[in-house]
Each structure stands twice: as structure tokens, then as C-alpha cells.
Amino acid sequence: MMAQLAKAAQKQLADLLFPVRAARGEEEDGILNVPLHERRLQTETYDFTILTIANLLREEKIVVPEFQRKYVWNRNQASRLIESIIIQCPIPVIYLDQEDDGTLKVIDGNQRLMSIRLFFENGFRLKGLRAFPDLNGFLFRELDPRFRTHIENRTIRCITILKETHPQIKFDVFERLNTGAVQLNPQELRHGLYHGSLMEKLDELGEYEPWQELSGIKDDKRMRGAELILRFLALRFKLDEYEKPLATFLNKFAQGNRDVGKDDEFENAFKKSVDGMKALLGSKAFRLLDADGKPDNNFNSAVFDAQMVGFALSGRSPKNISKELGAEFLPRYVALQTDREYVRAVSASTSDRPLVHTRIELFRSLVQEIVPV
């Protein structure tokens, strides 16, 4: 008994000190779908001088994407980095992602890079130095020219993931390097890796008031709503190409549509479906209902797929849905939830291609039966 208690205590301590990351789900194992010969990371390694890095940052040839992880280092941390450069202490490797236009986007190392840029722009005075306390209080421009030259000529190793690397491999590497205090979720990673007008559009659509009302997502700090909107758009416009895992499907769609321009097709499709669901089900949308039509408290992503994409593909307009029609629709939808195929499609192995198609098709058919053209 004592041995068992000791072993349990040891396990508890180990869990505290060395937490085990949750196992990757089926939808996250997209790397297995990449052909073996394309799973190799294609990289180039550069030893950039600090001056070169500062210039590349200023010219925006190296860019820090604007997503969840902001600049959070305090002046002591930034100053210690500069001191490490002065004493030639090894600096951790910077990881960069090469865009199609040759721009290098930071995957890991933005705190270090932003600290270097700020210092070269005289953005902070050195503080808390230990090896060279006499330099405390100085801006970069105020340092002796010999110190400035010494700093400028130091190097940091930068590993660039070349644009020829398979997109899913890039995403996997980005995830592996995600070692911040707050772990980024898949949509936050996409927002950084595929940042462009599509990601901006997702943020914009997330502000649509009827969507916030139905989804209950009003403060989308962790981008849950943005991922759901991306999920709708991907299934609405590329349903025939859908293959599991879902995460890889969303990655491909995000990459292929990252610069959507001013085309309002995505916006119109999303708002039309949201308005349709508001007219048909109101607060009962996106949730399982019991036999009396009472909604479950939990948002159901599979039900969301069925309703949003099904309505979009029905060819019906929310303008043709009266209150009376909504009242007629509700019991028919409650009855649909007793259909064995529908229940299976929204409750188990929901990312399987046949089940995705099944739930969308069943809801689409129901809408077409009741809502006039």
C-alpha cells in the first residue's frame, strides 16, 4: 500500500514538472497524408550580422506576423539580449518562413528580433546589465562607436524554411516550435502562417452581429469563431475536395485563398447562411435539440457544418423565410434528429468524408422541402 502511494506521489510530481502534451488528434495528423518524398524540410541556413538583421527588419524583408504573440519582453530582458551579443554569448537560432515573394516571416524568435530592431532605433536604454553595468542607461546612438561596430558585426544563425517545402510540413514545424508560455491553437498558427486578406476577412466576419448572437462568440481572443467561419467557407466552396483530416483541409484552403482580394463572395455566402439560420432556428441554431425542441447548451461543430453549409447549398434565401415558416421548420428539424444517419453524422467520427457529406445533404434537403425558392 505504501509503495502504491509513493508511486502515485511520484507520478503526480512528474506530471507537474514534466507535463505530457495531449496526444495529437486524428484531425491534427495531417502530416501522414503528405507523400513520403515531400515530408523533408527544405531549408537554408544563414549567419546574419546584427546590422543585416536590423536592416532587413527595417526594410520589411523580415516581417513579424501580427497574430496572437505580441512583443512582451521588458527592458531588462531586451537589454540582457544586447549584453549577450556584446559578450558573444550564443543566441538561440531564429526560424524564418520564406514566402512566395521571397519575404522572410518569423516563425520563432520575434522577441529577440523586435528587441534588436527597437535597440537600433534607440527605442530603449540599456538596463540591468551584469557583465557591463557601465553601459546601463545608454541608447544605441550614445554608445562609443567601437561598441556599436562590435554589436553590428556579431551574428545570429537563422534557419529559413524554403517556399518549396510542403505547406503541411511548414504547419507541423510551426506547431513544433510553438513553445510560448501560452500555446497557440491551430487557428492562431494559421493566422500567422497564412496571414493575408482571408484572415482579415475572417476577423471582419466575426464581428457580424447575427453571427455573434447565434454562436455566442463575441470576444474571439483565441480565434475559435475565426476557425468556424474558415471551416464554413472551406466546406461551402470546396466540399467536393474535402478529405480528412479536417485540419489539413483547412490549411490548404487558407493557403490557397490567403489573398482573396475584394471579392465579396465569401462574405455574402457567410452572411446569407447566418441570416437563414437565424430565421429558421434562432437561438436553437448550431446545437442539438431534444424531443421538445430544447437546445443543448453546447455549440456543436458538426451541426454547424450541416446547418450553415446545407443552407448555403440549398439555393434558398433568408428573405423567403417568414415567422410562420420558421415555426413549421422547427418540428421537422427535431424529427430529423431521430434519423439514424443524421445522428451518426453529427455524433461520431464527424470528420469522416461520408459523414460530412451526409449531414450537409440531409439538412440541405430539409431546407429545400420547406423553404420556397
Over its length of 373 residues, how does the chain's per-residue pLDDT go in tens digits? 555 655 665 555 455 444 444 444 444 455 556 656 566 778 899 999 999 999 999 999 998 876 545 678 899 999 999 999 999 998 999 999 888 888 898 888 888 999 999 999 999 999 999 999 999 999 999 999 999 999 999 999 999 989 888 777 777 777 777 655 556 788 888 887 788 889 989 999 999 999 999 999 888 878 899 999 999 999 999 999 999 889 889 999 998 998 886 668 999 999 999 999 999 999 999 998 988 889 888 899 999 999 999 999 999 999 999 989 988 999 999 999 888 999 999 987 788 999 999 999 999 999 999 999 8
Burial of 268 (0-12, 13-18, 19+ CB in 10 A): exposed
**pTM of the full predicted structure?**
0.69
Which three cell numbers, joined as nine digits, stand for 170?
Answer: 511548414
In the numeric block, the cell 551579443 is attached to 85
Is there a contact between 222 and 97 (Cβ–Cβ < 8 Å)? no
Cβ count near 134 (within 10 Å) = 8
Please answer whether residues 154 and 50 qualify as being in contact, where contact means their C-beta atoms are separated by less than 8 angstroms: yes
User: Alpha-carbon distance 191 to 67, whole Å?
Assistant: 6
- Type and span of the H or E element at 45: strand 43-49
Q: Are 352 and 244 in contact (CB under 8 A)?
A: yes
Which residue in 255, 342, 256 sits closest to 305, CA to CA?
342
Sign, CA torsion 313/317/323/325: negative
**Cell matching residue 204:** 471582419
Helix, coil or strand: residue 300: coil
User: In Å, how far are 42, 91, 318 from 162, measured between CA atoms?
Assistant: 6, 22, 46
**Per-residue confidence (pLDDT) for residue 114, from 0 to 100:** 92
Provide the pLDDT for residue 302.
94
Cα-based torsion angle of the residue sequence 68, 72, 73, 75 in order, rounded to the nearest 10 degrees? 150
Which pLDDT does position 185 carry in this prediction? 81
Domain ranges of the chain: 41-176, 186-370
How much is the pLDDT for 337? 86
Residue among 118, 132, 30 nearest 74 (CA): 118
CB 180 within 8 Å of CB 72: no
Determine the straight-line distance between the first and last CA of the chain, rounded to whole angstroms: 72
pLDDT attached to residue 39: 65
Give the pLDDT of residue 193: 77
Picking from 357, 359, 360, the residue whose alpha carbon sits closest to that of residue 346 is: 359
